Structure 1
Amino acid sequence: MSRLRSKQLHCDSILLVTTVVLVLIGLVMVFSSSGVYAMEKYNDAYYFLKRQVVWVFLGTVVMLLAREMDYRGLEKHTYYVMGITFLMLVAVMVPGLGKEVGGARRWLMLGGFTFQPSELAKFALILFIAKSLVKRSDQLKNFAYGYLPKLIVLGFFFVPILYQPDFGTATIICFVTFAMLMIAGLRSKFLIYSILVVVPLFVLAVMNAEYRIRRIVAFLNPWEHESNSGFQVVQSFYAFGRGGIFGSGIGSSSQKLFYLPEAHTDFIFSVIGEELGFVGALIIISLFSILIWRGFIIAYHAKDSFGTHVAIGLTLLIGIQAFMNMGVTVGLLPTKGLTLPFVSMGGSSLVVLMFSIGVLLNISGKLIQN
């Protein structure tokens, strides 16, 4: 028995330790990037840090619970999770229930805290895709019975999320869904047909919102729009440039002093690049690479199809979101408003992602026990 436990601990420790390190780095950087702003706005330099500590505690609790439960029970309750998530997405639009910030309705008021249902939607959709692939994997090459139903369900989540508007999350759930289906054996022609349909819809969604047009224009030439739509990205460039190889030191960022908007959320990677330099940024990228590697190892060795597909989906979610966040800060992608997993200030994202890590640990644990 002791030998079994030792193997199980060794199997889980790589993923667990990587996650813990990312979360701890996140706590340090949230305080470093938000202290001045919090003091100015709330007269409390620790305001955001204290809230993030609460979310880390809640995230740790749900991660441990997910680690101890039987992940196969999620397959039985997939439709309940989807239904609750969809109702929450609709409730966000109801005045008095949803909270509007910066022109976007993405949050539900829960006591003194807010929760973002679109974060739960990512997890719920992964469960659905995994469950459907287990039941009808042989029909995936059939458009009407195997592929179209999944697109319809994706649409039920995509539309309300886009309406909030939350274009970044809407993009992520599309990428994760198509990636899961491709790995499961989706016909390439179905993917091509989907691209031919999605690209015009994507262009239409961008053209329908002036702020999205400005973001695309700023992405193409941020320096030309440095004083308006390209301001965030240009300030991010300055942060990385000032950081150099080894950084200016923790707490020494100048860009966070009201130059770089959302320094503790969407652009926290820029502050890391400034204070910890290229070396610090490389460490963050390496940690995510280890996490992704570990997730795919768990998926590859899972003893049942549901565990494999869930592990693939959750790993893709973390990897794609991390890439998109970091890609925005270095100018590879247009600004989208996404957090850096486990690092940025953001309670809903942190709790859902830590629960996801718990599920991955659970799948890994079941593998060793089997």
Structure 2
Amino acid sequence: MLAIIALILFKQPDIKSFILIATTGIGMLFISGVPFKYILGVGLGAVFLLGALIFFTPYLQERVKTFIDPSADPRGSSYQIQQSLIALGSGKIFGRGFGQSIQKFSYLPEPQGDSIFAVLGEEFGFVGAFGTIFLYLLFALRGFRIANNSPDAFSRLLVSGIVILIIAQSFMHIASITGVFPLTGVPLPFMSLGGTSLMVYLTAIGMVLHISKFSIRK
């Protein structure tokens, strides 16, 4: 089922969703105990499809070039990453203060969505940015612990899939804003503006919490 969804997203092309679904699917295969050779085959297939999509899609090629050299076109394709890095750098250790961001006013594209981590880093500094990453890591640790103690295989895979999806999207957003990964435009879960996204993730968290009520201590 995940493979079908991934292929549909590939056909769109919706590259960010394709990467998220592929990452989640591969993670669930690993957790379910599928032999490594099959997981490797799926992973290589996903990488091949991604490479083919980039090769035949000019705007994706532009994003890869921007990732390799962020200073190449500061007023064009590199604009967002340049402004994001300026915002993060100007936040220094403790930030400018809540609501005191300058970059979010007419500089950062989508400051309430695609660039929210840059605004967070500018207003709360390194401490706030590191604290946010730490909270996501804490969520992952707690989520996988719930998955490990789940009463059955279905619950374990469901919780694991939810955790992998949220963490993958979180770190894809953070990595894009910091220049570690090409820009994807994915929102930051629980922080970026978006009612539908928030509703979906809160529903998913509700499912995880419900399963945690039936945890079996090991």
Count of aligned pairs between the two proteins:
216
Q: Which residue of the other structure, out of 290, 301, 308, is the alignment partner of 2:149?
A: 301
Question: Which residue in the other structure is 2:66 paired with?
Answer: 218
Query: Aligned pair 1:354/2:191, yes or no?
Result: no
Map 1:134-145 onto structure 2 (within 5 A). none
- What are the superposed Cα offsets for residues 153-179 of structure 1, whole Å, 9 maximum, x if unpaired? 233212332344421111100001001
Query: Aligned pair 1:261/2:109, yes or no?
Result: yes
Q: Which residue of the other structure, out of 169, 175, 186, is the alignment partner of 1:321?
A: 169
Following TM superposition, the consecutive aligned residue runs of length 4 or more in structure 1 with deviations greater than 3 angstroms are 162-165
Q: Which residue of the other structure, out of 131, 139, 157, is the alignment partner of 1:283?
A: 131
Map 1:169-248 onto structure 2 (within 5 A). 169-248=17-96
Unaligned segments of structure 1, at least 5 residues: 1-152
Q: 2:7 and 2:29 mapped to 1: Cα distance? A: 20
Conserved 8 A contact 2:99-2:123 = yes
Q: 2:63 and 2:81 mapped to 1: Cα distance? A: 10
- When the two chains are superposed, the root-mean-square deviation of aligned CA atoms in Å is 1.4
Shift of 1:311: 1.0
Query: Aligned pair 1:310/2:154, yes or no?
Result: no
Shift of 1:191: 2.6
Q: 2:28 and 2:3 mapped to 1: Cα distance? A: 16
Shift of 1:208: 2.1
Shift of 1:303: 1.4
Query: Aligned pair 1:270/2:118, yes or no?
Result: yes
Letter in 2 for 1:253: S
Q: 1:297 and 1:160 mapped to 2: Cα distance? A: 32
Map 1:67-106 onto structure 2 (within 5 A). none
Letter in 2 for 1:295: G
Q: 1:196 and 1:319 mapped to 2: Cα distance? A: 22
Q: 1:196 and 1:309 mapped to 2: Cα distance? A: 22
Question: Which residue in the other structure is 1:85 paired with?
Answer: none
Letter in 2 for 1:250: F
Q: 1:165 and 1:253 mapped to 2: Cα distance? A: 34
Q: 1:196 and 1:296 mapped to 2: Cα distance? A: 25
Letter in 2 for 1:198: A
Unaligned segments of structure 2, at least 5 residues: none
Conserved 8 A contact 2:100-2:123 = yes
Q: Assess, with a 3 A threshold, how the Cα gap between structure 1 residues 192 and 308 changes in structure 2: closer, same or farther.
A: closer
Shift of 1:297: 1.0
Q: Assess, with a 3 A threshold, how the Cα gap between structure 1 residues 165 and 196 changes in structure 2: closer, same or farther.
A: closer
Shift of 1:346: 1.5
Letter in 2 for 1:335: L
Q: 1:357 and 1:195 mapped to 2: Cα distance? A: 27
Q: Alignment identity in percent?
A: 38
Q: 1:365 and 1:193 mapped to 2: Cα distance? A: 36
Shift of 1:255: 0.8
Say which structure is richer in helix: 1
Q: 1:351 and 1:309 mapped to 2: Cα distance? A: 21
Q: 1:236 and 1:313 mapped to 2: Cα distance? A: 30
Conserved 8 A contact 2:26-2:43 = no
- Tell me: higher relative CO, structure 1 or 2? Use CA pairs within 8 A at least 6 residues apart: 1
User: SS at 1:223's partner residue?
Assistant: coil
Conserved 8 A contact 2:22-2:46 = no
Query: Aligned pair 1:366/2:214, yes or no?
Result: yes
